[in-house]
Amino acid sequence: MLKYCRHCDRTILPDANESCPGCRSAEFLQDSPPETAGSAAGLLLARLRGHAAFPVVCAFCGVPSTESKVFTWRRKSPHVSGGDSAAAYFSVVWRIFEKLVRQQEQVISFRLPHCGNCRMMRLEIARFEWDDYCILAYCHPNFCEELKASGRR
């Protein structure tokens, strides 16, 4: 049965001796993760685009907010080749060209509003859409309504 390790902050399959395979401890295990965002909490799926401006409503509880937090995800660009695709004597030139011209990594980053009470909440992500530089995440219905009303959804 799956358990949640508070030390590793993830859901794990315990070892035979009922301990976490990551931190090797049993004292941090619990049956379910702490309450986070999600569809069970009545939250809706919102499309959050990188570098977008969002309404000043807490994405977690839906109250007006003045604080915000930057969320950033990175991955190596799938467009960077790993091997020598040119002839041996062109490989050095090809690598220099790749470093100068091709994007080495993809980044999704945005500043998401939150209230003082939700400062430590984790954003529950349903899916990354790297081609559009956005993510689908569970947010409060008030935030989703404001996002839709502003035409940014």
Percent of the chain with pLDDT over 90: 23
- Phi-psi category of residue 115: left, alpha or beta, with phi > 0 → left and psi -120 to 50 → alpha: beta
Q: Where are the domains of the chain?
A: 1-34, 37-73+108-149
First CA to last CA distance, the chain: 38
The C-alpha atoms of residue 148 and residue 134 are separated, in whole angstroms, by 15
- Phi-psi category of residue 136: left, alpha or beta, with phi > 0 → left and psi -120 to 50 → alpha: beta
Which band of pLDDT confidence, cut at 50, 70 and 90, is reported for residue 54?
A: very high
Residue found by looking up tokens 């969002």 in the block = 54
Which band of pLDDT confidence, cut at 50, 70 and 90, is reported for residue 10?
A: confident
Tens of pLDDT, residues 83-120: 544 455 667 776 676 666 656 678 889 999 999 888 88
Which band of pLDDT confidence, cut at 50, 70 and 90, is reported for residue 21?
A: confident
